[in-house]
């Protein structure tokens, strides 16, 4: 057996791994003697190898990787799919670059949008718009962090009517290919499946896909710019395994039934995101659950969000339900008031100041909770005490620097 611990932990399902081309290649190599005079420098034989005569090459695949990518594309309903070992971030950059080579300059972003999209727009010189007027492509996140799924049929019709490209960031929707009504690949021109987030793939495993032949060649050129030239074989093998992993209908049913009967729990169209409405004590409840060994994906100060996948064990889900009920008793629901903050654009230079002293100043760079890594305070937004408190309480944040926030200088 190759790569002992990795195989036992991550490639558990025998029937699935038997269908996996990259996994099978990795296992087959164990048979002969192998002295490593090549990278990686750890010199261990087994799972973590490099491009060798028999291991194929992600940059220009002709063997097991080409076959895996073909089979992944077939499952996802794509003209062509590209395995990524650099996360959905490289998929987002690649699909935006491909769209750019097809003539896209202005992009209508439907919020919420992940930081990687804003970064890609900045790097590629694309103009992000908050309205569809004048845009030549539309980008949405589906599902979002709470499991809401965009009406992709409607967006497809709009894009067809107006000759726009439709791009979907499905970083959280890799498992939705089981249900083609909800799945990005049934509608989008380019889409990203962040398979590591909701399927049993190693962290950073993702796929980016194109719908037509013309788009496929634009995407082929684009992925070259944003993928590492040293892709991890364990990650590649895990992406193929994850896409071929079976649906878990028993668990789906159990989760839906639980959300239906529990007043303070809800799921949206995507069953893998279980949202517990805790209210004002959400961070305390999150800490309480951590003490009992339950770790959530994120807490937004009102809702604690738990992410499941087809690989979640039923008994672990039942433990979550039991402890959530205790948490609900301990923390009765108290609503959180949130006031939308107006955008105030400024032209002055920026400066870093203590977050605690930033109330009423105007933010000069997006920042927020991590995850979800979408802006809680946008560039140009007046900073409120409520949002300062949220950033102070969160386990992880982005866009801040050692407790400081970037704001526009005040005109003296
Ligand atoms: C909606 C969305 N898009 C893209 C990304 C980037 O994905 P990755 O972390 O796999 O690079 C994330 C990560 O959280 C995300 O939530």
> Is residue 294 pLDDT above 60, yes or no?
yes
Question: Which mutation among 87, 167, 168, 227 tests ligand 1's pocket best, with the greatest number of atoms within 8 A of CB?
Answer: 87
Q: Beta-carbon neighbour count of residue 136 at 10 Å?
A: 20
Q: Over pLDDT 70: what percentage of the chain?
A: 98
Q: Which two tokens stand for residue 101?
A: 């080579």
Q: Bigger pLDDT: 3 or 257?
A: 257
- What are 252-256's contacts with CB under 8 Å, separation 24+? 254/314, 254/317, 255/308, 255/317
What is the Cα–Cα distance from 264 to 278, expressed in whole angstroms?
7
Question: Which mutation among 139, 147, 149, 171 tests ligand 1's pocket best, with the greatest number of atoms within 8 A of CB?
Answer: 171
pLDDT at 3: 57
pLDDT at 411: 74
Ligand 1 centroid to Cα of residue 208, in Å, is 12
CB of 169 shorter than 6 A to ligand 1: yes
What is the Cα–Cα distance from 46 to 34, expressed in whole angstroms?
9
Residue 5: name the closest of 37, 47, 42 by CA.
47
pLDDT at 33: 82
Ligand 1 centroid to Cα of residue 29, in Å, is 33
Band (pLDDT 50/70/90 cuts) for residue 63 is very high
> Is residue 29 pLDDT above 90, yes or no?
no
- Mean pLDDT of the region 283-308: 96
Tokens 């013309």 correspond to what residue? 214
What's the pLDDT tens digit per position in 351-367? 999 999 999 999 999 99
Dihedral angle, C-alpha 9, 13, 16, 17, nearest 10 °: 40
- Using DSSP, state whether 164 is helix, strand or coil: coil
CB of 373 shorter than 6 A to ligand 1: yes
- Mean pLDDT of the region 115-142: 96
Ligand 1 centroid to Cα of residue 166, in Å, is 18
Which residue has a Cα nearest atom 7 of ligand 1? Answer: 88
Residue 17: name the closest of 300, 245, 269, 318 by CA.
245
CB of 171 shorter than 6 A to ligand 1: yes
**Numbered ranges of CATH 3.90.1150.150 in the chain:** 249-330
CB of 116 shorter than 6 A to ligand 1: yes
- Mean pLDDT of the region 261-286: 95
Which residue has a Cα nearest atom 10 of ligand 1? Answer: 87
**Numbered ranges of CATH 3.40.640.10 in the chain:** 4-244
**Numbered ranges of CATH 3.90.105.10 in the chain:** 350-408
> Is residue 32 pLDDT above 90, yes or no?
no
- Least confident segment among 135-139, 190-194, 395-399: 395-399
Which residue has a Cα nearest atom 9 of ligand 1? Answer: 87
> Is residue 105 pLDDT above 70, yes or no?
yes
Measured CA to CA in angstroms, residue 320 lies from 176, 258, 277 at distances of 23, 11, 14
What's the pLDDT tens digit per position in 216-230? 999 999 999 999 999
Give me the CATH topology for the region 249-330: 3.90.1150
What is the Cα–Cα distance from 140 to 142, expressed in whole angstroms?
6
- Mean pLDDT of the region 123-146: 96
Cβ-based burial of 35 (10 A; exposed 0-12, middle 13-18, buried ≥19): exposed
Ligand 1 centroid to Cα of residue 338, in Å, is 26
Ligand 1 centroid to Cα of residue 142, in Å, is 12
Q: With contact defined as beta carbons under 8 Å apart, do 192 and 170 qualify?
A: yes
CB of 56 shorter than 6 A to ligand 1: no
> Is residue 74 pLDDT above 90, yes or no?
yes
- pTM exceeds 0.95 for this model: no
pLDDT at 256: 97
Q: Bigger pLDDT: 252 or 7?
A: 252
pLDDT at 412: 64
Measured CA to CA in angstroms, residue 102 lies from 157, 165, 171, 190, 236 at distances of 20, 9, 23, 12, 28
Look at domain 4-244 and name its CATH class: alpha beta
Ligand 1 centroid to Cα of residue 54, in Å, is 32
pLDDT at 44: 87
> Is residue 1 pLDDT above 80, yes or no?
no
What sign has the CA pseudo-torsion 221, 222, 225, 226?
negative
- Mean pLDDT of the region 80-107: 98
- Mean pLDDT of the region 152-164: 97
Q: Which CATH number applies to 350-408?
A: 3.90.105.10
> Is residue 174 pLDDT above 90, yes or no?
yes
Give the chain's end-to-end CA distance (angstroms, integer): 70
CB of 143 shorter than 6 A to ligand 1: no
CB of 88 shorter than 6 A to ligand 1: yes
Ligand 1 centroid to Cα of residue 88, in Å, is 5
What is the Cα–Cα distance from 386 to 406, expressed in whole angstroms?
17
For residue 145, which atom of ligand 1 is closest to its CA? 16
Ligand 1 centroid to Cα of residue 45, in Å, is 32
- Mean pLDDT of the region 30-52: 89
What is the Cα–Cα distance from 181 to 143, expressed in whole angstroms?
12
């Amino acid at each position: 057996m190759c790569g002992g611990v990795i195989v036992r932990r991550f490639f558990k399902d025998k029937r699935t791994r038997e269908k996996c081309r990259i996994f099978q290649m990795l296992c087959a190599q164990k048979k002969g003697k192998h002295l490593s005079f090549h990278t990686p420098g750890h010199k261990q034989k087994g799972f973590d190898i490099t491009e060798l005569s028999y291991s194929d090459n992600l940059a220009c695949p002709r063997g097991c990787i080409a076959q895996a990518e073909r089979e992944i594309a077939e499952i996802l309903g794509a003209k062509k799919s590209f395995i990524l070992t650099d996360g959905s971030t490289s998929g987002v950059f690649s699909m935006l670059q491909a769209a750019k080579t097809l003539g896209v300059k202005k992009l209508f972003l439907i919020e919420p949008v992940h930081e990687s999209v804003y970064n890609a727009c900045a790097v590629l010189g694309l103009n992000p718009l908050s309205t569809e007027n004048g845009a030549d492509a539309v980008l949405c996140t589906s599902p979002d962090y709470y499991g809401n799924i965009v009406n992709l049929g409607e967006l497809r019709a709009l894009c067809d009517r107006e000759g726009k490209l439709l791009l979907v960031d499905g970083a959280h929707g890799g498992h939705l290919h089981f249900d083609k009504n909800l799945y990005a690949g049934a509608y989008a021109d380019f889409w990203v499946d962040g398979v590591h987030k909701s399927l049993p793939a190693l962290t950073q495993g993702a796929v980016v896909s194109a719908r037509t032949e013309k788009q496929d060649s634009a995407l082929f050129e684009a992925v070259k710019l944003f993928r590492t030239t040293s892709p991890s074989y364990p990650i590649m093998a895990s992406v193929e395994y994850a896409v071929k992993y079976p649906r878990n209908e028993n668990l789906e049913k159990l989760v839906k039934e639980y959300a239906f009967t529990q007043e303070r729990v809800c799921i949206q169209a995507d069953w893998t995101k279980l949202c517990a409405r805790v209210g004002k004590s959400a961070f305390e409840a999150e800490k309480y659950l951590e003490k009992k060994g339950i770790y959530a994906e994120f807490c937004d100060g009102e809702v604690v969000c738990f992410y499941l996948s087809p690989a979640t064990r039923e008994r672990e889900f039942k433990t979550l339900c039991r402890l959530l009920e205790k948490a609900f008793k301990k923390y009765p629901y108290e609503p959180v008031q949130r006031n939308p903050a107006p955008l105030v654009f400024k032209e002055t230079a920026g400066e870093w100041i203590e977050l605690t002293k930033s109330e009423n100043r105007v933010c000069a760079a997006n920042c927020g909770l991590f995850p979800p890594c979408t802006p809680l305070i946008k560039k140009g937004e007046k900073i409120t005490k409520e949002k300062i408190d949220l950033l102070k309480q969160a386990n992880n944040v982005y866009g801040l620097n050692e407790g400081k926030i970037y704001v526009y200088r005040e005109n003296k």
